[in-house]
Amino acid sequence: MDFTLTEAERDLVGLCREFARGEIARRAPAAWEEARCPTDLLREMGALGLLGMLIPERWGGIGMSTVGFVAAMEQLGLADQSVAAAWQAHVTIGSLPLYLFGSDDQRERWLRPLAEGRALGAFGLTEPDAGSDARGIRTRAVRRDGGWLISGEKAFISNAGTDMSFGVTLLARTESDEGAKPTFASFVVEKDTPGFTLGPKMRGIGWRGLDTRALYFDDVFVADDHLVGDPAMGLNQFLQTLEVGRISIAALSLSLTQAVLDLALDYARERVQFGQPISKFQAIQFKLADIATELEAARWLTYRAASLRDCGQPFLKEAAMAKLKASRLAVWAASEAVQIHGGLGYMLESPVARFYCDAKVLEIGEGTNEIQHLVVARELGC
């Protein structure tokens, strides 16, 4: 395995590093404090081509490899996790259903503005009564003269309620006969469609800059051309999209772990107790060495999953393993980094505290870690 970056991937990393250190690091903390989605930053990232990362040039993107996407994330997530979370949700689950399963007309109409960074994409799967059990969704789409009537509710949907949002690509049940086998289809619902309303932005422990809210559909009519892909394969399409989302959350976890390692190392070298820097105490050294070692292991798993996708190989198990390993590491590493900072680490005035708050959701979003265990176990043949 060789994950040496190509010239195009290295250029992208350089661009992301510069933007992350210059703009994101300077402006994102205020958005986190104010619990505001920094769409100004996301628009600028769009102008740099970063919002069409995994979409070919034909549809307005930059056609980057998945390995390049992971490497870019390592830079962006170092600076701020909310911006990186909004960005990755747009690039993967917010855009890929239209690219992978949409018609050319749909790609031209909805995917191109997303890829060119003029709009933000959202993925509507979760509902109040159906999270891990995606088959349990209740949102229904019923056929009506030349289109579909959608009714239901989605929960915790990211990127659908900002001033840059285009609407949502959602999953709905479509079976009509009592007792029929459930079928699921995916639809685009644009903002401002009559009957489509938004709940208030929710307040998370972390990712405070990410716009996450409930979506309500009250007899929302969409024409036939809003149906994305095969009307019987919607669930399959959504689950396939989530496989890429898992690589993305793994990459976000790597960036968080690197960020807290850097912060903890700097602090340990500076903080003097008992007449010497605390980095000279073996207890502190072992924490830092453990985080660095686990980070390398998680990095290899994540790049391996990304590289399999780029080679057109199956990557379901590897993506689940990468997400499981990297997100657990991020939560543990953030806690250890706070510990190394002592009381200062507990205060939101210190950046490490913000990363600590941002870490927990990595074990929940895009399939909880219990679900990743189930995926890996199933792939092992259990």
Ligand X SMILES: Cc1cc2nc3c(=O)[nH]c(=O)nc-3n(C[C@H](O)[C@H](O)[C@H](O)COP(=O)(O)OP(=O)(O)OC[C@H]3O[C@@H](n4cnc5c(N)ncnc54)[C@H](O)[C@@H]3O)c2cc1C
Catalytic residues: 366
- The amino acid at residue 371 is I
Yes or no: say if 330 and 359 are a contact pair by the CB < 8 Å rule: yes
Pick 213 or 287: Cβ nearer ligand X: 213
Q: How far is the CB of 155 from ligand X (least distance, A)?
A: 7
372 belongs to the binding site for ligand X (CB under 6 A): no
Give the nearest distance from C-beta 93 to ligand X in angstroms.
6
Sign of CA dihedral 150, 156, 159, 163: positive
Q: Is 362 left (phi over 0), alpha (psi -120 to 50) or beta?
A: alpha
Closest CB to ligand X among residues 9, 211: 211
Helices (H), 112-220: 112-115
Q: Distance from CA of residue 206 to its chain's centroid?
A: 14
For residue 312, give every residue at least 6 positions away whose Cβ sits within 8 Å of its Cβ, in sequence order, or none.
none
**Alpha carbon of 304 to those of 56, 76, 290, 292, 309: distances in Å?**
22, 20, 21, 18, 9
In angstroms, the CA 157 to CA 365 distance is 11
Compare residues 291 and 334 and give the one whose CB is closer to ligand X: 334
For residues 147 and 102, the answer to whether their CB atoms sit within 8 Å is no
Instruction: Please name which of 185, 72, 186, 206 lies closest in space to residue 122, comparing C-alpha atoms.
Output: 186
Query: Quick one: which of 63, 201, 368, 379 contacts ligand X (CB under 6 A)?
Result: 368
CB nearer to ligand X: pick between 124 and 167: 124
> Min. distance of Cβ 140 from ligand X in angstroms?
17
Helix (H), strand (E) at residue 168: strand 167-173
Q: Which of 366, 372, 375, 376 binds ligand X (CB under 6 A)?
A: 366
Nearer to ligand X, 119 or 371 (CB): 371
Give the CA distances from residue 131 to residues 123, 213, 300, 359, in Å, rounded to whole numbers and listed in that order. 13, 14, 29, 20
Examine residue 89 and tell whether it contacts ligand X (CB under 6 A).
yes
- With contacts defined by CB under 6 A, name the span among 4-12, 144-152, 288-296, 367-375 that binds ligand X: 367-375
Least distance (Å) between residue 57 CB and ligand X: 26
Q: For ligand X, which residue of 18, 33, 34, 370 counts as binding (CB under 6 A)?
A: 370
Contacts to ligand X from residues 342-361, by CB under 6 A? 361
Asked if 260 is part of the footprint of ligand X (rule: CB under 6 A), the reply reads: no
The two structure tokens encoding residue 312: 């057109």
CB of 323 to ligand X, least distance (A): 12
Closest approach, Cβ 160 to ligand X, in A, equals 8
Number of residues that bind ligand X (CB under 6 A): 21
Q: Which of residues 113-172 bind ligand X (CB under 6 A)?
A: 123-126, 131-132, 156-158
Indicate the residue among 51 and 71 with the shorter CB distance to ligand X: 51
Residues of span 168-207 touching ligand X by CB under 6 A: 204, 207
Q: Which of 153, 163, 164, 239 is nearest to 197 (CA)?
A: 153
Read off the DSSP letter of residue 279: G
Nearer to ligand X, 26 or 373 (CB): 373
Minimum gap (Å) between residue 128 Cβ and ligand X: 8
Asked if residue 365 binds ligand X (CB under 6 A), the reply is yes
Enumerate binding residues for ligand X (CB under 6 A).
Answer: 89, 123-126, 131-132, 156-158, 204, 207, 212, 361, 364-368, 370-371
